Amino acid sequence: MGKPTNVTNSIRALRFSANEMTQAGLADRVDMTRQTIIAIEQGRYSPSLEVAFKIARVFNVPLDEVFHYPEESSSTATSAKK
* Residues contacting 32, CB < 8 A, separation 6+: 47, 51
- The stretch among 13-21, 29-37, 56-64, 66-74 that binds other proteins (CB under 8 A) is 29-37
Euclidean distance between CA atoms 10 and 73, whole angstroms: 22
Euclidean distance between CA atoms 63 and 71, whole angstroms: 16
Residue 19 within binding range of other proteins, rule CB under 8 A: no
Residue 35 within binding range of other proteins, rule CB under 8 A: yes
Question: Which of 29, 43, 53, 61 contacts other proteins by CB under 8 A?
Answer: 43
Site for other proteins in 52-81 (CB under 8 A): none
Q: Are strands 8-9 and 67-68 parallel, antiparallel or unpaired?
A: antiparallel
- The residues binding other proteins (CB under 8 A) are 1, 3-5, 24, 28, 31-36, 39, 42-45, 47-48, 51
